[in-house]
Amino acid sequence: MLTSVRQQQILEIARESGHVVVETLAERFAVSPQTIRRDLNELCDRSLLARTHGGAMLPSGVVNVGYDTRRDFMYAEKEAIGRICAEHIPDGSSIFINIGTTTEAVARNLMRQRNLMAITNNVNVATTLSANPSCEVVVAGGVLRRSDGGIIGEATIDFIRQFRVDIGVIGASAIDADGTLLDFDYREVRVAQAIIENARRVFLVADASKFDRTAPVRICPFTNLSALFTNAPPPEAITALARENGITIEIAGEGTPPA
């Protein structure tokens, strides 16, 4: 049984929104952040929640949480990641942008770049980039996944393989302790692998919670990346792996507003 009514309420909040934040809970319950952290630790010890950077979320090792929840979770941090990643995409680039709420943040921060060619299997990304008159938007064919606007399937993979671009921007649902990138949907992973194979450089955009999560399908090893864009320093093992393989790690400032 849970040790307090407060913990029961915390769990109910997490079930409604998919995640909880320490500072927000401390203010709501009028207790210290340390008290909330102890509550979260106890809930995580019971496998009722999984710790993330600055809070906790519902544990999910087989099925991903819903798109709306993922979109709102760590929104400001994702915008900061999108902004710093966009700064590393120069004018005149050809790019792939994959499915994901953080890759969508990259698209929202590409409004100032000129003479871009963006190939995407993400309807949300295509809609966003269509507002940039200096960006040619190419939408991959395939099966539309209505839940998040992703386009997947063999036709999508075949389409992507027709191109060779400067930069591929991808996301991941989880990053394992050895740096392996992981996701939930095998079909989505196949598309991500095609993007990696056909991009000269690969940028991973991932908030710090991805280091605390797990997922069942392997995308690729960390060494396939050119750069990681995140919002907090990754675990030391990941940092060492990046250093040994010449992979850049860029840390975005938390709470950076959209460009």
| Residue 258 predicted with pLDDT over 60 | no
Query: What confidence score (pLDDT) does residue 78 get?
Result: 93
Q: Assess whether 34 and 151 both reside in one domain.
A: no
The backbone region for 45, taken as left when phi is positive above 0, alpha when psi lies in -120 to 50, beta otherwise, is alpha
Residue 32 in any domain: the answer is: yes
| Residue 221 predicted with pLDDT over 50 | yes
Range of the domain at 53: 5-59
Q: Assess whether 42 and 106 both reside in one domain.
A: no
Q: Assess whether 104 and 161 both reside in one domain.
A: yes
| Residue 143 predicted with pLDDT over 70 | yes
| Residue 259 predicted with pLDDT over 60 | no
Query: What confidence score (pLDDT) does residue 116 get?
Result: 98
Report the number of distinct structural domains present in the chain. Answer: 2
Instruction: Tell me the three state secondary structure of residue 150.
Output: strand
Give me the chain's average pLDDT, please: 89
Q: Assess whether 165 and 218 both reside in one domain.
A: yes
Q: Name the percent of the chain lying above pLDDT 90.
A: 69
| Residue 122 predicted with pLDDT over 70 | yes
Q: Assess whether 198 and 226 both reside in one domain.
A: yes
Distance, CA of 56 to CA of 48 (rounded, Å) = 10
Q: How confident is the model at residue 162 (pLDDT cuts 50, 70, 90)?
A: very high
- The CB density around residue 112, as the number of other CB atoms within 10 Å, is 11
H-assigned helices in the chain: 5-17, 22-29, 33-45, 67-72, 75-86, 101-108, 123-129, 154-160, 186-197, 236-245
Domain CATH number, residue 134? 3.40.50.1360
Distance, CA of 162 to CA of 68 (rounded, Å) = 32
Domain CATH number, residue 24? 1.10.10.10
Query: What confidence score (pLDDT) does residue 238 get?
Result: 95
Distance, CA of 227 to CA of 257 (rounded, Å) = 22
Q: In 42-76, which positions are buried (b, 16+ CB within 10 angstroms) versus exposed (e)?
A: bbbeeebbbbbbbbbbbbbeeebbebebbbebbeb
Residue 258 in any domain: the answer is: no
114 vs 60, 96, 196, 233, CA distance in Å? 39, 16, 24, 31
> Among all chains, which residue has been given the structure tokens 């840390």?
251
Q: Assess whether 40 and 100 both reside in one domain.
A: no
Q: Name the percent of the chain lying above pLDDT 70.
A: 90
Distance, CA of 207 to CA of 64 (rounded, Å) = 15
Q: Assess whether 74 and 162 both reside in one domain.
A: yes
Q: Assess whether 22 and 74 both reside in one domain.
A: no
The CB-based long-range contact list for 2-11 (8 Å cut-off, 24+ gap) reads: 2/43, 3/42, 4/39, 6/31, 6/39, 7/39, 7/42, 7/43, 10/36, 10/39, 10/40, 10/43, 10/49, 11/43, 11/48, 11/49
Query: What confidence score (pLDDT) does residue 254 get?
Result: 47
Query: What confidence score (pLDDT) does residue 257 get?
Result: 41
Whether residue 108 contacts residue 87, with contact meaning beta carbons closer than 8 Å, is answered with no
Render pLDDT for 17-74 as a digit per residue (tens, 0 to 9): 778 999 999 999 999 999 999 999 988 877 678 888 889 887 665 445 556 666 666 7
Q: Which of these three, 59, 83, 98, is where a domain ends?
A: 59
